[in-house]
Chain A
């Protein structure tokens, strides 16, 4: 894993003995209601964002840039 190598090169021991993202233990008898599958997912994620709308600021700026004839240095 190159990324580990990159970190390890800077700090050989420190990062190899940690995990920032250790999952918290559930209680032995912890219970909870299961969410209905799919109910939340549409509210959490977007898969139709790749639209043809070019009216946002970035796109308008881009358009202006492309239309400009002056050479910018």
Chain B
């Protein structure tokens, strides 16, 4: 790609020097916001793009960097940052990442020496950029038939940054942001087990007080750790974390709220709580509508249909098994309805439910089961305390407890 016939050498020289001055001024003024802007390659700001053009025109920025003491002290940061920008502009993402990582490493060395936490905002930009550049580098590698490896490298770098922030000083409030970037890396790579060590640091290290972290990082953190709890089927913990994220998320960020709900809804269903329909409607989570309806009604056919219809979606998000397990609760509701219907007809006999009657109901719901299979299911329901009662085995009847035969979950998941 031929560069920039439009830019003269003089103009290029001017732009590069301007950047260098801005950089050194930002550091000497401890102006994190300006510094952040200067590091944000992926923002595609006109300023940085034309700087990239200038670099590709001038070609010898190394000389300019050494020109003045103000910025020659940052030569490793700047030289590699310039390389990164140049290659970024030329669409060479692999090289851009490599150079950026070098620059970022040099930046961390400087950052360590700055005593106060003034530069945290700039560090956040660095952490974000390295992840985003790594993703793009990996896409480029993959499209060239090579093995993607840069996002993993970015993960290692971020762990290093975490280590720098994990101390007693004021910089420690930045650790949660970096943690969240790590989560995004690990989730994308599918290596979520690697989240464990950084979670352990955040939650058990004495230097960290969770309440001190910025709200936005706490919300993001609770979202990801909440998702991990869903994967591990720890529903009370998942409920706590995802509900925290939901309550504290910026209400205007509807995409984020939708994501939280996408995982929170199956959790709530597992503890016997239903989302109101307006919630599903507003955040476009209508894939859950039939599941909710199935629970409400005791409609096993509808549940199965809903799981089938949205199987791919539920599998991708990893909630399929959670939803499938709702089947027991749907059985409970169905049997309860049978009981109530019987009670309407003959209150004295209602607490005795013939297995055959359940077979009949199931058949109507297109589930072909014989009496033995139904007995098996009923015994599971009893075992898990969804039904209180016992079998009068010979007569193939379930005798329900006169008191509270269908105990509510009361916010607790079904006994495993």
Chain A residues proximal to chain B, CB less than 8 Å: 1-4, 6-7, 15-26, 28, 30, 32, 34-35, 37, 40-41, 43-47, 49-50, 52, 54, 56, 58-59, 61-63, 65-66, 72
Chain A min CB distance to B135 (Å) = 9
Chain A min CB distance to B130 (Å) = 14
Interface size class of B (residues with CB under 8 A): 35 or more
Q: Which of A15, A34, A59 contacts B341 (CB 8 A)?
A: A59
Cβ-defined contact, B341 with A66, below 8 A: yes
Q: Which of B321, B337, B338, B340 contacts A2 (CB 8 A)?
A: B321
Q: A49-B296, A66-B360 are in contact. Are A23 and B341 (CB under 8 A)?
A: no
Task: Tell me if B5 counts as interface (CB < 8 A to partner A).
Answer: no
Kindly report which residue of chain B lies nearest to residue A40, judged by CB atoms.
Answer: B247
Q: Which of A41, A47, A72 contacts B363 (CB 8 A)?
A: A72
Cβ-defined contact, A4 with B297, below 8 A: no
Chain A min CB distance to B123 (Å) = 11
Task: Tell me if B107 counts as interface (CB < 8 A to partner A).
Answer: no
Cβ-defined contact, A23 with B318, below 8 A: no
Cβ-defined contact, A46 with B274, below 8 A: yes
Task: Tell me if B117 counts as interface (CB < 8 A to partner A).
Answer: no
Contacts of B219 in A (CB 8 A): 26
Cβ-defined contact, B247 with A7, below 8 A: no
Cβ-defined contact, A44 with B279, below 8 A: yes
Q: A15-B316, A62-B337 are in contact. Are A25 and B128 (CB under 8 A)?
A: yes
Main secondary structure of the interface of A (DSSP, over half): loop
Cβ-defined contact, A17 with B315, below 8 A: no
Q: Which of A30, A52, A61, A65 contacts B340 (CB 8 A)?
A: A52
CA distance A40 to B357 in the complex (A): 42
Main secondary structure of the interface of B (DSSP, over half): helix
CA distance A66 to B361 in the complex (A): 7
List 13 additional contacts besides A23-B256, A47-B273, A62-B334; criterion CB under 8 Å: A3-B320, A16-B189, A16-B190, A21-B227, A23-B220, A24-B255, A32-B252, A35-B248, A46-B275, A47-B272, A65-B361, A66-B360, A72-B363
Cβ-defined contact, B357 with A66, below 8 A: yes
CA distance A15 to B205 in the complex (A): 34
Cβ-defined contact, B275 with A45, below 8 A: yes
Q: Which of A16, A46, A47 contacts B411 (CB 8 A)?
A: A47
Chain B min CB distance to A6 (Å) = 6
Q: Which of A20, A37, A61 contacts B317 (CB 8 A)?
A: A20
Docked complex: B108-128 residues within 8 A CB-CB of A: 121, 124, 128
Kindly report which residue of chain A lies nearest to residue B151, judged by CB atoms.
Answer: A17
CA distance A40 to B298 in the complex (A): 27
Q: Which of B231, B248, B360 contacts A65 (CB 8 A)?
A: B360
Contacts of B121 in A (CB 8 A): 28
Chain A min CB distance to B26 (Å) = 15
Cβ-defined contact, A45 with B268, below 8 A: yes
Chain A min CB distance to B367 (Å) = 13
Q: A59-B341, A62-B337 are in contact. Are A26 and B274 (CB under 8 A)?
A: no
Chain B min CB distance to A69 (Å) = 10
Cβ-defined contact, A37 with B341, below 8 A: no
